[in-house]
Amino acid sequence: MRLFEICTLIFIGLSLMNFFLAKKERVTWQLPSVTLLFCLLSVVIEGYRMQMLPAYIFAGVVMGMYFLPAAKKAFNKSKKLKYTWMVVMVVLLIVSLLPPLCIPVFTMPKPTGSYAIGTTLLHFIDTSRLETLTDEPSDYRELSVQVWYPAETVDGQKPVKYYPNKELAGTLQHIIPMPFGHNYLTLIDTHSYQDAPISRQEDKYPVILFSHGYTGNTRQNTIQMEELASHGYIVFSIGHTYEAVSVEFPHNQIIPLSKKHTDLFYGELSSFMDKEIIDKHGEAFGFRSLLDNGIISHERIDIWTNDTLFITNELEKLNRGDIKNMFQHKLDMDRLGIFGHSFGGATAGKTLVMDKRFKAGINMDGGQFGDIREHVISQPFMLMHTPFSSETLLVGYHPDQPMYNVRIVGTQHYSFTDISIHSPIYKWMGILGDTNGYHMQTIMNDCILSFFNKHLKGEHAPLLENHNPYEEVHIEYR
């Protein structure tokens, strides 16, 4: 909770104590007036969020108790009535406290690298591919890419917000419903600066592409993007249009997911992975059947892989300066990596097979969709996963596939995203594990950075060389 929010709730409590428990003459107006002042400061300075609405309403009720003579007389009629209302008010105070406490305006972890961080949004149209996920037969495939990069130090400029507007943040409600919505994410500062000049410290920087999870978005792993950029990587996070929960196009245009097509995908997934099949044969059996017989999932992994290959080709053009841009001659395409979460992790795996320009890749807890089981990924590869998914995830790879097999205890699927620090509610819902969210982000940053430092920069990586400081992390090289 933020300072003025805390002060608001404290002074509501003090006002109640004064009203009910003061033995001498009550403070008649000072405490409720200060409470109102903190309410206003909270809204004006810190920014309004729905989670505080019950507290603001309750503050108004408390003010009414002070300034309406009839209320004072009613509470003084009998001790029984007075104590009954005391209990009611304490319950209401707790109810007012829970939403902002359980859905906090959290702080993004500070990146550990030496570079300042810039961010920008790019937009591309692939005129060689018609869009198959819309009803308009003449649509071309359009993609947006959010970029994080090492930047020059920015003086006097405020960092960008985690989500730049309420419309974009609000789309998350379609995927993970949250009491009072997700608009509070627009109040959270990142460590990135909009369109900051790219750092001149190095002539060029290694490049990493990222693919979000199915119905995820480009910002779902902002913590990892900032960490990598602070250590001298340029990271391009691809929004896979109509299967991301939302993507940003120019002029503040928000493109939502296609419910029609995402329902088809999840329908196929559940037909092979339903509870009866898993209980009878095991999850690995269901996933193997999906890989053997699925149609929609194979089509979608091809679309996402082609998105990635197209963006890679466009980055080559940006680097050459075919179009004047800030990344001209700054992209070291000889040091090119890729990673992704869930379906985006599968996209990373297939892209490594399809394009040898990529020198290393990571799959974060994603089943390896596609037809790569007949191929061995020749580049260095890491599979990060929960303790429950190892057998199932390995089904998608060649039996002889070498990899860093990284199992992290106390995690669930969404632990591999920023959601791990969003709210304790997600842990109660069962979509996060027991590992502390901030600690999980430290683990992820260390694993990902160590891997890319070793295989793109040629640096020493103690974490991957039998110097593992995390008791939750089990690394096996196979």
pLDDT digits (tens, 9 = 90+) for 315-371: 999 999 998 899 999 999 999 999 999 999 999 999 999 999 999 999 999 999 988
pLDDT value at position 18? 84
Higher pLDDT, 27 or 138: 138
pLDDT digits (tens, 9 = 90+) for 112-140: 999 999 999 999 999 999 999 999 999 99
What does residue 112 show for φ and ψ, rounded to 5 degrees?
Answer: -95, -5
pLDDT value at position 478? 85
Question: 116-477 in CATH: which number?
Answer: 3.40.50.1820
pLDDT digits (tens, 9 = 90+) for 62-117: 888 888 767 667 666 777 877 888 899 999 999 999 999 999 999 999 999 999 99
Mean pLDDT of 39-60: 94
pLDDT value at position 45? 95
pLDDT value at position 26? 59
Secondary structure element (H or E) that encloses residue 450, with its range: helix 437-456
pLDDT value at position 39? 95
* Residues 208 and 311 sit within 8 Å (Cβ to Cβ): no
Q: Which residue ranges make up each domain of the chain?
A: 3-102, 116-477
- Please name which of 208, 241, 247 lies closest in space to residue 225, comparing C-alpha atoms: 208
Q: State the sign of the Cα–Cα–Cα–Cα dihedral 179, 183, 185, 187.
A: negative
Give the confidence band of 194 by pLDDT, cuts at 50, 70, 90.
very high
206-215, 283-292, 465-474 — most confident range: 206-215
Sequence-distant (6+) residues with CB within 8 A of 181 are 50, 169, 170, 173
Instruction: Return d(Cα 228, Cα 191) in angstroms, integer.
Output: 12
pLDDT value at position 72? 67
Does residue 54 surpass a pLDDT of 90?
A: yes
Query: What whole-number percentage of the chain has pLDDT above 70?
Result: 97
pLDDT value at position 71? 67
Sequence-distant (6+) residues with CB within 8 A of 92 are 58, 61
What is each CA distance from 70 to 54, 73, 77, 83, 443, in whole angstroms?
A: 24, 5, 11, 17, 59
Mean pLDDT of 285-309: 95
Instruction: Return d(Cα 45, Cα 298) in angstroms, integer.
Output: 49
pLDDT digits (tens, 9 = 90+) for 402-460: 999 999 999 999 999 999 999 999 999 999 999 999 999 999 999 999 999 999 999 99
Instruction: Return d(Cα 415, Cα 221) in angstroms, integer.
Output: 11
